Amino acid sequence: MTTYETLIHRRERELFEEALGMETGYLLDFSDRTFGDFFNDEVGVDPDATPGSRLFSGRGTSKAKRLRSFIERAQPNIVARALRALWEHREYSMIAGSGVREEKLREVFFRIVARFEGDDQAIDSSEIEAFEANETLQELVAAIRRDLDAGRPQAGLDRLHTYCMKRFASLIQKHGGGMCGENDPLHSRVGRYVRALKAERNLTEMSERIIKSSISAFEAMNDIRNNKSLAHDNQSLVSMEEARFIYDSVTALLRFLKTVDAQKFED
């Protein structure tokens, strides 16, 4: 029998329930009335009327217990839709926290959502982070993650490009390379960073080749940003599959650079 416990693994459950404030039987800031209104509005199911009520019964009457029952009884796509809406409500109501713990809650939560959507290969956005205390940067990161959480990676490629522009400008400064010009293209910034990194690090031949190859990759990203994203009035976007590949490639490179240049990434 498929149960809540088999659908949400033990190691994930604590974080999932912490994200939704379920530890004491509640669910976010919902009252009994607003709990019903939420599921009516978001997924078209009335928890207090037959037949919808059957999805929410069997585990108890607290809002947390009713959600656990819904998760194990409703169709997976309906569960995924409800969970995405719950996270949006959490952010809109300013219940969300910040810092490392919040990042972990988000990562686990959307891994579970992806499982209900039949795609357990959610894009890992852990390397897309606010690396400085800057309100604009924080909103940029949040916007990228909203696109990824909504399953629309192609819609956020222009913002990913902007993020990389800011990230490499910051790294160049931390290496003592000065400020970047406003019109310096992304691949030029990456090239300057690579030169600064080589001057300070004794890189292996393989690491050096990987990093150098990234310059041409980021040059190609300029074209994607200008001609295949929402940055301009373009007629078409890259496909979802290609957008996923671009995100995976960029974040993999950032993760690699963080490994070989950890001190500057974490300053």
Every domain of the chain and the residues it spans: 4-116, 135-266
Q: What is the pLDDT of residue 58?
A: 85
Q: Greatest CA span in the chain, whole angstroms?
A: 70
Q: What is the pLDDT of residue 170?
A: 94
Terminal alpha carbon distance of the chain: 50
Tokens 């090239």 sit at which residue? 191
CA angle 168/172/176 to nearest 5° reads 165
Q: What is the pLDDT of residue 122?
A: 65
The pair of three-digit structure tokens given for residue 75, joined into one six-digit string: 């169709």
Q: What is the pLDDT of residue 120?
A: 53
H or E element that contains 198: helix 186-200
Tokens 């959502």 sit at which residue? 113
Alpha-carbon distance of 72 to 56, in angstroms, equals: 9
Buried residues in 47-73 as b, exposed as e (16+ CB within 10 A): beeeebeebbeebeeebbbbbbbbbbb
Q: What is the pLDDT of residue 244?
A: 87
- Mean pLDDT of successive 10-residue stretches along the chain, which has 267 residues: 83 92 92 93 88 86 94 90 92 76 88 80 77 89 82 87 95 92 93 90 86 90 90 85 89 88 79
CB atoms within 10 A of CB 89: 18
| pTM (global) more than 0.85 | no
The pair of three-digit structure tokens given for residue 233, joined into one six-digit string: 């009035």
Q: What is the pLDDT of residue 119?
A: 59
Alpha-carbon distance of 113 to 124, in angstroms, equals: 13
CB atoms within 10 A of CB 194: 18
Alpha-carbon distance of 8 to 124, in angstroms, equals: 19
E strand segments, 72-128 = none
Alpha-carbon distance of 70 to 43, in angstroms, equals: 12
Tokens 């192609």 sit at which residue? 154
Q: What is the pLDDT of residue 186?
A: 94
Alpha-carbon distance of 59 to 238, in angstroms, equals: 45
